[in-house]
Amino acid sequence: MLKLPPLKENEIHFLSECVDCSKPIAEAIQSLQGEKDAYYACLLPELYRIQHVIKSVRMENLKYCSSLLDVIEENLDKRFKLFLQLESAGNDAILASVSHFMFKLKWVPKARKEYVKELVLFETRKINRSEKQKSEALNNVEDDIKKKVKR
């Protein structure tokens, strides 16, 4: 048995803050690396959830680990900037998340909801035009075949 002195109250408080700061990242990693329910659609909602939880933790007036939260936020922003801004570079991720039945528009910040709605409508119209063109091309081929058969 190790003969170590018991942890002091400030050491316990420090460890508790470390856990609170690291927990959102650990939960996100666990969620996103799952074998059954891990989809590309989960990425953006999970990133926004992490940001929300980190803001909540920051409100708790941390005594020891506020700099840890700063580093976590800074690196999340650096690594996932294109996704978190919800601009054209992240359109595939946006469309995947919005079209997933669990997420829809729930995770989208109010300031970006109109952009996301317009993106979905634009992509839907593009698919419809493409399908219509394919259908017309197929009809033209069928008509050509029918004409050749009649000759």
- pLDDT score recorded for residue 15: 96
Query: Does pLDDT of 80 surpass 80?
Result: yes
How confident is residue 92, by pLDDT bands cut at 50, 70 and 90? very high
Distance (Å, rounded) from C-alpha 38 to C-alpha 21?
23
Q: Which residues contact 139 (CB under 8 A, 6 or more apart)?
A: none
Tell me whether residue 54 is exposed, middle or buried, using C-beta atoms within 10 angstroms of its C-beta: 0 to 12, 13 to 18, 19 or more. Answer: buried
Q: What's the rounded Cα separation, in Å, for the pair 97 and 64?
A: 36
Using only C-alpha atoms, what is the Rg of the chain?
25
DSSP one-letter string for 81-93:
HHHHTTSGGGHHH
This prediction has a pTM of: 0.78
Residue 64: Cβ within 10 Å count: 15
At residue 131, what are phi and psi to the nearest 5 degrees?
-65, -40
User: pLDDT-based confidence at 147, cuts 50/70/90?
Assistant: low
Q: Taking the CB of residue 15, how many other CB atoms lie within 10 A of it? A: 13
